[in-house]
């Protein structure tokens, strides 16, 4: 049974991913903005991220860490840390999620990207919370994937009936003028009516900088970041190879490898970078905003959070998007280049150093910020989310 009436509100957030930083950082930004705006609100995040404990959380924001799993190249999942059967891990996750939702008894559930969670793990929780009167919200990126890939995936997972019958709202963390994430899919009209475009999520410098935050270089520098780093080996190798190939590239670059990059690759890159005076290299900084704010431009892979950072700090950028297993980054980078917001450098598989040399020099000397494209209203995401939540909670209280 639901808990007795109370004089404060609760929001539960769910982020399935164990690999990468995007889902976790997006949830954290939204949660912090919500508690800053709504003083009678508490937010609990359910996450599979193994590094969620590396981040600080504001008062009235906390997290529950569920056992992590990782997707293998063959599409199957395996336990990230525990030496137990994957089915047992998934069963543990389902039970922890459901039990947490029962006890926390949220007024609203915000699900990040995966409508049914990992392997359908939140479907029973969605149904249970729906019966309790909890408002169910799905938040999706500006770009999901190529429709030829997304449509069969959603058909296999039977996503559309869940969007139609269970979810109350679908928030798109972007603008319609930039991209419509369900383009090319056969979307029922009653699902379309649930979609709200929030705008992108603005990033800011932390009010209090952590003492562990990396000291940024004193001279002008480019920031090279593959996000979490798990799939960023090719990008980092390409940048270091450019410096090795052409020693006239003498301006500084700071490389942040990412916590999920394999340790053998990290060691190799650090050894190579140590021989190049113009390169600084670190593994990870959980507060990268200061590094971004201070850089002249960025070389990155173009995930959602990186794109928000480029927009928020108005930094010239060259994006080297991945194309597998999803085309999300490629679609986003191509569209941003069309609009004049940044440049895209496609990975042709050969990755000749001269191509990166040219990109680095052009970015450092002539790079234009996204604001030069003159597109207004991109970064209203957090403000609009706060307005949506405020209206929904007022309705719920009534």
Q: In what order do the strands lie in the sheet with 252-256?
A: 279-282, 252-256, 221-225, 297-300, 317-319, 343-344
Residue 291: which residues within 8 A CB-CB, separation 6 or more? 214, 216, 223, 254, 256, 285
Residue 35 pLDDT level (bands cut at 50, 70, 90): very high
Mean pLDDT (the chain, rounded) = 91
Give the separation between CA 13 and CA 15, rounded to whole angstroms.
7
Does the structure show a pLDDT above 60 at 73?
Answer: no
Per-residue model confidence as pLDDT tens digits over 251-306: 999 999 998 899 999 999 999 999 999 999 999 887 788 899 999 999 999 999 99
Tell me the percentage of the chain whose pLDDT exceeds 90.
76
Q: Can you give the pTM of this predicted structure?
A: 0.92
Does the structure show a pLDDT above 60 at 1?
Answer: no
Q: Which fold has domain 221-373?
A: Rossmann fold (3.40.50)
Go through 45-62 and write b for each residue having 16 or more CB atoms within 10 A of its CB, e for each that does not: bbbbbbbbeeeebeebbe
Residue 329's pLDDT is 96
Average pLDDT over residues 196-200: 98
Does the structure show a pLDDT above 90 at 214?
Answer: no
- Ranges for all domains in the chain classified under CATH 3.40.50.2000: 9-202+379-397, 221-373
Average pLDDT over residues 181-199: 96
Residue 324's pLDDT is 87
Q: Which top CATH class is 9-202+379-397?
A: alpha beta
């Amino acid at each position: 049974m639901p808990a007795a009436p109370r004089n404060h509100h609760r929001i539960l957030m769910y982020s399935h991913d164990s690999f990468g930083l995007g889902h976790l950082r997006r949830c954290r930004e939204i949660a912090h903005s919500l508690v800053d705006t709504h003083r009678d609100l508490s937010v609990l995040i359910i996450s599979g991220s193994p590094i969620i404990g590396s981040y600080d959380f504001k008062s009235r924001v906390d997290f529950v860490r569920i056992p992590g799993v990782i997707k293998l190249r063959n599409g199957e999942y395996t336990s990230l840390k525990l030496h137990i059967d994957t089915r047992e891990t998934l069963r543990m996750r389902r039970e922890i999620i459901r039990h947490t939702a029962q006890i926390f008894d949220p007024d609203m559930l915000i699900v990040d990207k995966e409508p049914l969670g990992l392997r359908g793990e939140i479907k029973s929780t969605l149904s249970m919370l729906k019966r309790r009167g909890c408002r169910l919200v799905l938040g999706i990126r500006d770009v999901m994937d190529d429709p030829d890939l997304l449509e069969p995936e959603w058909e296999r997972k039977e996503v559309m009936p869940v969007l139609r019958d269970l979810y109350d709202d679908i928030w798109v963390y972007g603008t319609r003028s930039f991209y419509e994430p369900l383009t090319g899919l056969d979307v029922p009209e009653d699902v379309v009516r649930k979609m709200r475009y929030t705008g992108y999520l603005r990033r800011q410098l932390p009010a209090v900088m952590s003492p562990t935050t990396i000291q940024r270089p004193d001279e002008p520098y480019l920031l090279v970041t593959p996000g979490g780093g798990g799939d960023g080996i090719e990008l980092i190798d390409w940048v270091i190879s450019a410096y090795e190939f052409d020693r006239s590239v003498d301006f500084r670059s700071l490389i942040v490898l990412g916590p999920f990059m394999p340790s053998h690759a990290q060691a190799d890159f650090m050894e190579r970078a140590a021989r190049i005076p113009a390169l600084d290299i670190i593994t990870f900084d959980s507060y990268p905003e200061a590094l971004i704010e201070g850089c002249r431009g960025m070389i990155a892979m173009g995930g959602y959070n990186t794109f928000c950072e480029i927009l928020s700090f108005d930094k010239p950028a060259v994006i080297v998007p991945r194309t597998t297993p999803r085309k999300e980054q490629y679609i986003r980078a191509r569209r941003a280049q069309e609009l004049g917001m940044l440049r895209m450098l496609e990975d042709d598989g050969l990755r000749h150093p001269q191509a990166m040399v040219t990109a680095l020099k052009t970015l450092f000397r002539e790079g234009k910020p996204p604001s030069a494209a003159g597109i207004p209203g991109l970064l209203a995401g957090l403000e609009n989310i706060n307005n949506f939540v405020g209206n929904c909670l007022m309705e719920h209280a009534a």
